[in-house]
Copies of this chain bind each other. A is one copy, B any other.
Amino acid sequence: MHSLGKLAELIKADLRGDPAAIVRRARSFDLAEDGDITLASDQSYRDRVNDSNATALIVSSMMDGVSKNLLIAANPKLAFARAIQALHGAAYEPTVVSDDFAVGRNCVLGVDLSILPRVTVGDNVVIGDRVTLHPGAVIGNNCHIGDDTIIHPNVTIYHDCRVGSRCIVHAGTVIGADGFGFVPDEQGHQVKLLHLGRVVVEDDCEIGANCAIDRAGFGDTILRRGVKLDNLIQIGHNCELGENTVVAALTGFSGGTRVGANCVIAGQVGTNQHVTIGQRVVVTARAGVTKDVPDGAVIGGMIPARDLTAWRKVQVIYSRLPELANKMKELERSIEELKLEIKGKG
């Protein structure tokens, strides 16, 4: 719990109200009660500020006729994220090392670890300080896990991969499986391209549940500092995602895709192999990125769902578009001929 005066300081907001008032929890607008702080930046919530039971509300600008404690922040959502952390962020406490920890030879283990039951670690692994390994986590030979990183249950990290400090890897994710590369031989049998590279996840990354991040053929598949991935994301071999880039669920990056820093890639997006996406690019949901994208571009290509019957009618014409375009050229010619004819008769 914090006084509003203290909290305003922590979240970098201006307080209009009682600095001695106490807040104990953060809650969403409709769940907030006395003792809570909430967010009211959307217009629909601003209209209802006086109805809220919250002790304090974070808003984007001063509001007249409001009797509530207000915390005014240029970026209210950021201020709220910080308020949640200030009120609910728990300090790390190690749970010691389970006595069934299966650990290989020549490992270097940090201090204050939380190794839960049923964790398996290979040979020559380096585990930093204050690392949490949840049940079912499997870490291959020669891996390196940085300080303060949390590996959730049933995560698999193949040999020779690196995960930086302060990373979170959610349950079921697989890091370092072989990239997908096969060449058909003379008989049509698929010959495997052995993948000799690694996966490198830099500091401060968070990776969602049940993702798959493949190792490089040669060199590294790289998630740069601060990359954040949602669930069920596919990162092909030799991809590189730039700093602070966020990617939503079910998106897949084909082998060799490069994405710049500070991009926002929405869900169910796909990329062609070896595409390069610049910095600060926004790709909207379900877009298929087939060629390079310059810095700062906003691209999309999602088909919004609509009434099925109406959409089918549209699709019928869609299929006939080349025919329609030709017809239009004919009409143009006919009109030109008519003009000449009329002129001739003039």
List residues of A whose CB falls within 8 A of some B CB. Answer: 26-28, 31, 75, 77-78, 80-82, 84-85, 88-89, 100, 102, 116-118, 120, 134-136, 138, 152-154, 156, 158, 168, 170-174, 177-178, 180-185, 188-194, 196, 204, 206, 208-212, 214, 217-219, 226, 228, 230-232, 234, 236, 243-244, 246, 248-250, 252, 254, 261-262, 267-270, 272, 282-291, 293, 297-309, 311-322, 324-325, 327-328, 331-332, 334-335, 338-339, 341-342, 345-346
In the complex, A307→B21 CA distance in Å?
Answer: 49
Q: A287-B305, A314-B319 are known; give 7 further A-B pairs, CB within 8 A.
A: A118-B118, A136-B136, A154-B156, A248-B254, A299-B307, A324-B328, A345-B345
Closest 6 CB pairs of A and B: A287-B305, A212-B231, A156-B171, A174-B209, A317-B321, A138-B153
In the complex, A321→B300 CA distance in Å?
Answer: 17
In the complex, A252→B319 CA distance in Å?
Answer: 25
Does B262 contact A188, Cβ atoms closer than 8 Å?
yes
Most buried by B among A173, A291, A298: A173
Contacting residue for A298 out of B75, B181, B286, B308, CB 8 A: B308
- Give 27 pairs: A residue, B residue, CB < 8 Å, sorted on A: A81-B181, A81-B192, A85-B194, A88-B194, A102-B117, A118-B118, A136-B138, A136-B154, A152-B156, A156-B172, A172-B173, A182-B246, A190-B228, A209-B212, A210-B212, A232-B232, A234-B249, A267-B270, A285-B288, A290-B305, A301-B305, A302-B303, A304-B315, A306-B319, A314-B319, A317-B322, A331-B335
Does B189 contact A204, Cβ atoms closer than 8 Å?
yes
Q: What residues of chain B lie closer than 8 Å to A283, measured between beta carbons?
A: 305
Q: What residues of chain B lie closer than 8 Å to A118, measured between beta carbons?
A: 102, 118, 120
Contacting residue for A299 out of B308, B321, B327, CB 8 A: B308
Does B212 contact A232, Cβ atoms closer than 8 Å?
yes
Does A135 contact B153, Cβ atoms closer than 8 Å?
no
In the complex, A231→B177 CA distance in Å?
Answer: 9
Does A135 contact B120, Cβ atoms closer than 8 Å?
yes
In the complex, A212→B324 CA distance in Å?
Answer: 43
Does B270 contact A196, Cβ atoms closer than 8 Å?
no
In the complex, A211→B320 CA distance in Å?
Answer: 38
Most buried by B among A231, A313, A331: A231
